[in-house]
Amino acid sequence: MMSDSPSASAMHVPAFLHSPRPALAADRVIDVLADIWGIAGAPQDVGGDRDQNLVVTSADDTRYLVKIAQAGEAPGVLDLQLATLLHIAEQAPELPVPRVIRTRGGACTHALPADGGGEHILRVFSYLPGRPILDTAHPPRLMHAIGQLLARVDCALQGFFHPHAGHAMLWDPRQAPAVRACTADIADDGRRRTIEDVIDAFCSDVLPQLDGLPAQIIHGDATAENVLVGGDPPGVAGLIDFGDVLHAPRAIELAVAMVDTTWGLDDPWPTACELAAGYDEVLALTDDEVAVLYDIARVRLAACAAIMATRERHRAEGAGSMAALVEPGWRQLNALNALGPRAAHEQLRRALRLPVGRGTSVPATASLLERRQQALMPGLELFYPDDPVHVERGSGAWLFDSAGERYLDCYNNVPQVGHAHPHVNRAVARQTATLNTHTRYVFSSIIEYAEALAARLPGDLGVALFVNSGSEAIDLAWQIARHYTGHDGALVTAHAYHGNTEAGAALSPYSQPAAHVAGLSVATEHDAPPPGSDPDEAIAGLAAAGHRPAAFFVDPSLSSDGILDPAPGHLAHVSKRVRAAGGLCIADEVQSGFGRMGTWWGFEARGFTPDIVTMGKPMANGYPMGAVLTTPDIITPFADNTDYFSTFGGNPVACMAGLAVLDVIEREHLRARAEQVGARLRAELRALQSRHPMIGEVRGLGLFIGVAIVDPDAGGAPTSARHIALALRQRGVLVGLEGPHKNVLKIRPPLLFTHEHADLLVAHLDAALAELTASHRA
Ligand code: PMP
């Protein structure tokens, strides 16, 4: 709109109010254009706030905008405007902004002596057709396009620097403290107080935050007059008037546009949010930027009201009036005030599809639980059913609930390398922003990832098939094993869980084992071999029912069996006997893989080598992905006889996530960390046994630890384990329950778990057990 030094003393009667815009005679302009620019045509005055603006149509129907600056206009500021447009023309020539038209001698300006002394600087620009958005409706599509254009202009200006870009500009919301003096010119007491309240709150609460936001040279004045629209239905046709260009937080660029393009609308915010969504699509906003947009928008309105009051009061003859803007601006400020910050943030975050959270009212947990019960399968299991955790976000080893409480996540192996790991996030986000499709195309990441997995597996386990979950991997492994062996029986551990497909469930005594599946009790380190632990007996049992073993499936962490430590050599022995009976050995690494047990794979830690490996859960840190790896020999009959394909399995985004997870495991030495932190944690848990007889065996490897709870005198073991887990949850520590009797505390944190995290867990467990023991006694 206009520039001026906003020093507090000059503020009350700003200098610009004294300077009417120039009024050069038409014939003088005609002569200069012809002589200096070689443009012939009659100028037509098109108004303007500070410059004299003329449109000239040449003989070939080309239109130009001639801008004649006031005598005394700071030359640095004029140069800033020109340099900005030249930079955009170079960086993003496709953008619809005015082009600088050079003189015949190649200059960008020409000076003419002014009548009262000094000189007027003339500049010529291409003329952009279109009408101001002020005169049109504001359909969402148009607002979105305006937001996109503005962001593209800001993108083009990101690398631009100019020594005058730091100049103070009255209309810049950061000048609110100086503009505050202008409120004295607002006649109506009620209005004045409202406007002062908005300015004061902004100055104390918001202004200090702005310095930390992304800043650059911006247009700074995307008003309803400066955004041009054209066509039918209306599309965005251009952005004009680079007279307020300055270095400022980008949030100001956007907030000014959100207010000034919706000036006077009765319900401006939803329309403004559309513009923000368009901007965000091109130039992503940070949470901090989003958080200040509503406040900047309101202070822009309040400051404009104050400046306009002063300006009307002191307006010099010839200076343009802004009276027509006063009432619409006031209406708009009232609309935003009535909406309030909470609703405004919610609307904005919804328009940007930002996760529910900061600045929004999260639906109450109780009402969500009710809706969950209706919307999802009834009885669908919840973690801590007695007191479910309403999660909002995660970071590293921590989870945060909707009330902002934090929890040490000692349970979660989906975010294997930590919640919201930045390297994995960026890999996913960048690939999503580039390409995601199915796997019938040639692309490199799927091959690179398959090779990376093969390089970390022994022998010739080098052929990969990608799927989307652990269950799918198990299902596929089962099909492959049956094809290869021609058999249809399976051995699994006694309480195994291998998935939710028909085959996965059939292979899971944990849920509903099938007739062709023999359950095998695992001989552990601690006890004499239990009945049913002899694989030959199990194979004979299958044979008696008419089945020969196609495969032995085993989760090396023996998770659902209660996190058991098999006797050394036991799993190798079972594998050997199954192979002797013509079956394959399948390591289900959905739980134990990717460094969990201190080695890449659980089978390495347990001393056997499988024929097929299934993977899932942790492999992409939460991005859905599963895989089967096997040998060329085993896959051949399956490849020859099926037309297997998975649309999403191994898609480019999943593979990038998988590669990034491997990077993090290696760069952050997470296998070694799992081994070291896990070993010390187990020792400390065992040390608790002397004080807490409820602690039975402490089992597991790496960061997969089971603490069996025994409760010989009261209540029954399962109840105690559940009480301990709940007491820990109330203390901000999350652990799971595992085993056929659900009496084993399952400790399986993200692998970036440190000794400090482990100490915290031990201290809370110690305290929770002491409390429970005391309450049992009472
Ligand atoms: N195998 C094992 C050992 C598992 O623990 C699970 C899931 N808990 C699965 C397979 C199935 O994985 P998903 O839930 O991803 O299908």
Q: How far are the Cα atoms of 177, 286, 749 from residue 251, in angstroms, in the given order?
A: 18, 10, 39
pLDDT of 708 reads 96
pLDDT of 359 reads 54
Closest protein CA for atom 1 of ligand 1:
498
Structure tokens at 375: 């919307």
CA of 641 to the centre of ligand 1 (A): 27
Judged by DSSP in three states, 228 sits in strand
Residue 135 per-residue DSSP state: G
Which residue has better confidence, 364 or 472? 472
Give dist(CA 478, CA 395) in Å, integer: 36
CA of 548 to the centre of ligand 1 (A): 25
> Does residue 596 line the site of ligand 1, with CB under 6 A?
no
Closest protein CA for atom 13 of ligand 1:
470
pLDDT, tens digit, for every residue of 463-507? Answer: 999 999 999 999 999 999 999 999 999 999 999 999 999 999 999
CA of 469 to the centre of ligand 1 (A): 7
Average pLDDT along the chain: 92
pLDDT class of 529 with cuts at 50, 70, 90: confident
DSSP 307-334: HHHHHHHHPPTTSPP-HHHHHHHHHHHH
pLDDT class of 446 with cuts at 50, 70, 90: very high
> Does residue 556 line the site of ligand 1, with CB under 6 A?
no
Amino acid at 110: H
Instruction: Give percent above pLDDT 70 in the chain.
Output: 94
Give dist(CA 278, CA 396) in Å, integer: 32
Q: How far are the Cα atoms of 390, 410, 734 from residue 407, in angstroms, in the given order?
A: 11, 9, 7
Contacts of 428 (CB under 8 A, 6+ apart): 623, 653, 656, 657, 660
Judged by DSSP in three states, 119 sits in strand
Burial (CB count <10 Å: 0-12, 13-18, 19+), residue 303: buried
pLDDT class of 222 with cuts at 50, 70, 90: very high
CA of 615 to the centre of ligand 1 (A): 9
Give dist(CA 760, CA 677) in Å, integer: 13
Give dist(CA 589, CA 500) in Å, integer: 16
CA of 682 to the centre of ligand 1 (A): 25
> Does residue 602 line the site of ligand 1, with CB under 6 A?
no
Write down the pTM of the prediction.
0.85
Q: 416, 467, 617: which to mutate for ligand 1, most atoms within 8 A of CB?
A: 617
> Does residue 175 line the site of ligand 1, with CB under 6 A?
no
pLDDT class of 714 with cuts at 50, 70, 90: low
pLDDT class of 527 with cuts at 50, 70, 90: confident
Rounded to the nearest 5°, which phi and psi values hold at 712?
-65, -30
Give dist(CA 703, CA 97) in Å, integer: 59
Q: 469, 475, 497: which to mutate for ligand 1, most atoms within 8 A of CB?
A: 497
Q: Give me Rg for the CA atoms of the chain.
A: 35
pLDDT class of 358 with cuts at 50, 70, 90: low
Structure tokens at 302: 């309040």
Q: 591, 613, 623, 648: which to mutate for ligand 1, most atoms within 8 A of CB?
A: 591
Partners of residue 44 on adjacent β-strands: 55
pLDDT class of 7 with cuts at 50, 70, 90: very low
Mean pLDDT computed over 24-29: 90
Give dist(CA 592, CA 571) in Å, integer: 15
pLDDT, tens digit, for every residue of 645-703? Answer: 999 999 999 999 999 999 999 999 999 999 999 999 999 999 999 999 999 999 999 99
Mean pLDDT computed over 158-185: 94
Mean pLDDT computed over 622-635: 98
CA angle at 498 for the pair 496 and 504, rounded to the nearest 5°:
120
> Does residue 21 line the site of ligand 1, with CB under 6 A?
no
Rounded to the nearest 5°, which phi and psi values hold at 532?
85, 15
CA of 626 to the centre of ligand 1 (A): 10
Mean pLDDT computed over 628-641: 97
Q: What is the residue whose two structure tokens read 């080598």?
A: 609
User: How many residues does this entry show for the chain?
Assistant: 778
pLDDT class of 325 with cuts at 50, 70, 90: confident
Q: What is the residue whose two structure tokens read 């394959």?
A: 584
CA of 616 to the centre of ligand 1 (A): 7
CA angle at 197 for the pair 194 and 201, rounded to the nearest 5°:
150
Rounded to the nearest 5°, which phi and psi values hold at 747?
-115, 110
Q: How far are the Cα atoms of 305, 322, 394 from residue 420, in angstroms, in the given order?
A: 44, 50, 6
